Structure 1
Amino acid sequence: MVWDTPEDRGVWNVPYVSHAYLVGGAALRGPLGEGPVFDHAHLDPDMAFCAQARDKGLFLHVTNRRHFGHLVVTNGFNSSGRGHPELWERPRNPWDWDQQYLHPNHSRIFQDQLLQQPCPDVFQFPLFSGHFGRELREEAELHGGWAEHHEVLSRSVPLSALQLDLVLQGALRELLPPIARRLFPGYAPKVRTVLSSVVRYDPAPSGHAPSGPAPSAPARPSATISLSVTLSPPRPQPDGGSRDCHRIGDNGDIEDIGDIIGDIGDLALLMDQ
């Protein structure tokens, strides 16, 4: 049974229960204690149990008047080589994943005025939790294999190498369209990412020049919208620590782990011009 709203509370008489159920001790010591209850010549064990209970006049029912917990899907759970295997579990257990990895106020960014606009067409709002930022960062460090990134003084690990690209793309496909529709009325977004990476910035210590060859100029993302998620606490940096706003050359400070910054990419700028 599925309840559409939390207000749908009550008790429902049903002919069949399975998977997880509570049985009163009096029933076990009484009607159900008289011989085997899961054996039947023509029925599976779960249906045999329910048939025995009905025949003996026991009231089978479903209730949501009290919260007893919920079931989780454990098939396919893989902890091999992973420090935080729950990060991969959203397709199987979305409710648990959202409770752990989404910001508590992610659904209230408009009601509580949590959405900021540091410069035109650049939006900042809380989406993920501190757990998400810390654990994704640790998984990238555990995996290793950092490669040169297109931005200055940075290295990256593709989410596809962590096998997290489809997991996070599915989350964004569900979470971002309602926000985009509020910001841009009439726009029907179809979330699709072609390049997603965990990026590690390694600025040179203050007063020291970076070692190695001079880095190339940072490239702007060739995308309709570029999204950046903070994975570590912000640190005051004389030469960094902010996100460039391409359209006016301004920048916006990133405040908290899990904050997301969305800005217009090169493709949208070319279309705008």
Structure 2
Amino acid sequence: MYMGYIPEVLKLLEREPIEDTADDQLYFTMAYLDEDFRNEIEMKLDHKSEIFQNIYGVEMDLDLYSEEDKAGGPERYYVKNRSTGTKPAVLHGNGPSKHVLNYFGNYIPNMWNIDEGCTKCKSRQIRLKNKAPYELPLVFLAIFIELNTPFLEEQLEKIHALDYPKEMMHLFIHNNMKYHSGHVKNFTEKYGAEYLSVKHITPEDGTAEWRARDLSLDQCMAKNCDIYFSVDSIAAITNKQTLRLLIEQNRTVVGPMLARNGKAWSNFWGALTKDGFYARSSDYLDIVNNDKRGLWNVPYIANCYMVNATLLKKYDRTVLNFNKANLDPDMAFCSTLRELDVYMYVSNRGDFGHLINYDTYDITRAEPDMYQIFDNELEWEERYIHKDYRSNLLPDHVPRQPCPDVFWFPIASEKFAKALINMMESYGRWSSGKNEDDRIEGGYEAVPTRDIHMTQVGFDPHWIQFLKQFVRPLVLKGFQGYSNHTPHSIMNFAVRYRPDEQPFLKPHHDTSTYTINIALNQVGVDYEGGGCRFIRYNCSVVDTKPGWILIHPGKLTHYHEGLYVTKGTRYIMVSFVDP
């Protein structure tokens, strides 16, 4: 980098002949070392980086900082060299330091500030609103299932729900997980006919991830697509406008910012180490937490992104691909894009969705998604909590009381009830229904049932969380004065009633402050008879509904019995809270 008056610059450039293939850096060095020539044109080196700042090798000396605008406008960002104390006016990044230059470019010159946010996000945007379907870009949608993924059925439904005409979309699915074969088959049978074409690669095909991703790029070109849209199974896209918004942003490569709920794990990197792996930029958490919103030039993006097909037309698979030694496919692709000087952007201008946490997903369990209440709370609630649950919590909601101080609420979905039954029956070790029970302290149960404890299926901590998160608010609706109550329960179990096993339960008090009882299947369909009779009040609840919870006092007032099941099998879930 150099600057100066034209006459002196011309003297510098014409000092001696130089071949096009020669080393221009050596040329300028020799000119500077010629003391007479240096003095003649008054040539100086910017030792302190007062004007020029070469980033390579001194990345750690450079800080991004802001200053208030003296005229009262928004703050302005600058780069400061800590070693020299200077504020260079020109930044230069070459080779491996280009990603640092791109990072600074997110803020300077005047690219982002607190008042206005992203000042250039709207530049180059296009509008899709009011366009007829045939006028929209042709999209190649590529879905990749490379991991066993919690709640995959819901993620596929969300992808299909994107607000974009399916007659302008080709569908490509690579499923590498046998566990999900049925989910994908159901999805393609249900929706496949809506798309222009469907390509489905199954686990039995044995296609490696990188090869499938390369193939998807070639397929996009073969279909003459305008947009390549890649979505991994762990990307939960909750904003139906996501695809349109990404296309309208009109960048070569752009994706929505997605992070695990409440975590710093996201689908982009803000910086790189010297060897090209993850490093955290100073603004990473601000972006992930949406404290700063905008369109960010980043060195790595994965899981969900859009590529303008002009890039695919420019480079074939010998150049642009997902295969590079010692790198995962996503890292290989981004590494190639960086080498080609293709900018990758991540947008958090709006809320697009989040990432699914797959770390604890154990498909050896009968119902692995049921165990995801901690790691994927939003999806867990969407699938397993009753659609009317939230209405229970409205200030003017009056709880149902089929019997005195027996409160009845919708709490769990039909899928929850069926999953819990399947968990128990898959485990299969129902108790004998006798008083002797080595599962409990003392080894004696006064009022035994045919049951399976949550501890036996590894579900007890998850069930306690369910009590805290979903049952506790209902208890507060019914029993005033329990405002500081946090549920404590050591007896959580599913009960099975059958005419040929245990058809009823004798009158008893529960060893609890209050008891919860959730019906898991349908009276009149799955079984006949059954229900609960509160003897003191001569009041029975027999028309129980799957997923509905009965909450009643335990130790003192509500002496009760389980009524005869005359046909079929009745399942309930019970907890003795605060024994």
Change (3 A) 1:154 1:60: same
**One-letter amino acid of the structure 2 residue matched with residue 13 of structure 1:** L
Where does residue 78 of structure 1 map in the other structure?
Answer: 362
Where does residue 407 of structure 2 map in the other structure?
Answer: 123
1:163 aligns with 2:458: yes
Deviation for aligned residue 1:184: 3.5
Does the 8 Å CA contact 1:222/1:265 hold for their aligned counterparts?
yes
Aligned residues: 249
Range with bigger deviation, 153-162 or 112-121 = 112-121
What TM-score, normalized by structure 2, do the two folds share? 0.36
- From 544, 550, 557, give the equivalent of 1:255: 544
Does the 8 Å CA contact 1:181/1:188 hold for their aligned counterparts?
no
**One-letter amino acid of the structure 1 residue matched with residue 429 of structure 2:** G
Deviation for aligned residue 1:255: 2.8
Where does residue 127 of structure 2 map in the other structure?
Answer: none
- From 487, 490, 497, give the equivalent of 1:191: 487
Q: Pick the structure with more strand per residue.
A: 2
Q: RMSD of aligned C-alpha atoms?
A: 4.3
Deviation for aligned residue 1:180: 2.8
Where does residue 42 of structure 1 map in the other structure?
Answer: none
Where does residue 175 of structure 1 map in the other structure?
Answer: 470
**One-letter amino acid of the structure 2 residue matched with residue 252 of structure 1:** V
Q: For residues 109-166 of structure 1, give each alpha carbon's deviation from its aligned partner in whole angstroms, at most 9, with x where no partner exists.
A: 2559583111221101110011111121122112111111669794111111111111
Where does residue 231 of structure 1 map in the other structure?
Answer: 520
Where does residue 90 of structure 2 map in the other structure?
Answer: none
Q: Secondary structure at the match of 2:373?
A: coil
Where does residue 60 of structure 1 map in the other structure?
Answer: 345
Does the 8 Å CA contact 2:399/2:478 hold for their aligned counterparts?
no
- From 498, 512, 515, give the equivalent of 1:202: 498
Deviation for aligned residue 1:246: 5.5
Does the 8 Å CA contact 1:243/1:254 hold for their aligned counterparts?
no
Where does residue 89 of structure 1 map in the other structure?
Answer: 372
Change (3 A) 1:200 1:64: farther
**One-letter amino acid of the structure 2 residue matched with residue 102 of structure 1:** I
User: Structure 2: how far apart are the matches of 1:250 and 1:19?
Assistant: 59
Deviation for aligned residue 1:226: 0.2
Range with bigger deviation, 127-136 or 241-250 = 241-250
Q: Secondary structure at the match of 1:14?
A: strand
Change (3 A) 1:58 1:204: closer
Say which structure, 1 or 2, has more relative contact order (CA 8 Å, 6+ apart).
1
User: Structure 1: how far apart are the matches of 2:456 and 2:546?
Assistant: 23
Where does residue 35 of structure 2 map in the other structure?
Answer: none
**One-letter amino acid of the structure 2 residue matched with residue 126 of structure 1:** P
Change (3 A) 1:258 1:64: farther
User: Structure 2: how far apart are the matches of 1:151 and 1:202?
Assistant: 20
User: Structure 1: how far apart are the matches of 2:511 and 2:520?
Assistant: 22
Deviation for aligned residue 1:20: 2.6
**One-letter amino acid of the structure 1 residue matched with residue 519 of structure 2:** T
**One-letter amino acid of the structure 2 residue matched with residue 192 of structure 1:** H
User: Structure 1: how far apart are the matches of 2:343 and 2:359?
Assistant: 33
Does the 8 Å CA contact 2:424/2:452 hold for their aligned counterparts?
yes
What TM-score, normalized by structure 1, do the two folds share? 0.71
Where does residue 264 of structure 1 map in the other structure?
Answer: 553
Q: For residues 6-58 of structure 1, give each alpha carbon's deviation from its aligned partner in whole angstroms, at most 9, with x where no partner exists.
A: xx9x9622354644341422456669x9x78999xxxxx96x959x76x9584
Change (3 A) 1:248 1:201: same
Deviation for aligned residue 1:263: 0.4
User: Structure 1: how far apart are the matches of 2:549 and 2:516?
Assistant: 7
- From 291, 294, 303, give the equivalent of 1:12: 294
User: Structure 1: how far apart are the matches of 2:541 and 2:456?
Assistant: 30
1:219 aligns with 2:508: yes
User: Structure 2: how far apart are the matches of 1:252 and 1:265?
Assistant: 16
Q: Secondary structure at the match of 2:474?
A: helix
User: Structure 2: how far apart are the matches of 1:20 and 1:216?
Assistant: 53
Does the 8 Å CA contact 2:295/2:349 hold for their aligned counterparts?
no
Q: For residues 60-89 of structure 1, give each alpha carbon's deviation from its aligned partner in whole angstroms, at most 9, with x where no partner exists.
A: 23247585x642222232222x33221222
User: Structure 1: how far apart are the matches of 2:293 and 2:314?
Assistant: 23
Q: Secondary structure at the match of 1:179?
A: helix
Q: Secondary structure at the match of 1:75?
A: coil
Q: Secondary structure at the match of 1:88?
A: helix
**One-letter amino acid of the structure 2 residue matched with residue 182 of structure 1:** K
Change (3 A) 1:193 1:254: farther
Gaps of 5+ in 1: 40-44
Q: Secondary structure at the match of 1:244?
A: strand
Does the 8 Å CA contact 1:242/1:252 hold for their aligned counterparts?
yes
User: Structure 2: how far apart are the matches of 1:193 and 1:99?
Assistant: 25
Where does residue 107 of structure 1 map in the other structure?
Answer: 390
Deviation for aligned residue 1:233: 0.8
Identity %: 20
User: Structure 1: how far apart are the matches of 2:314 and 2:467?
Assistant: 53
User: Structure 2: how far apart are the matches of 1:136 and 1:199?
Assistant: 11
Q: For residues 160-209 of structure 1, give each alpha carbon's deviation from its aligned partner in whole angstroms, at most 9, with x where no partner exists.
A: 1111111121122111233233334442220121101110112369xxxx
* Larger of the two Rg values belongs to structure: 2
User: Structure 2: how far apart are the matches of 1:113 and 1:242?
Assistant: 25
Gaps of 5+ in 2: 1-256, 263-289, 325-329, 435-444, 559-579
**One-letter amino acid of the structure 2 residue matched with residue 61 of structure 1:** V
Change (3 A) 1:61 1:76: closer
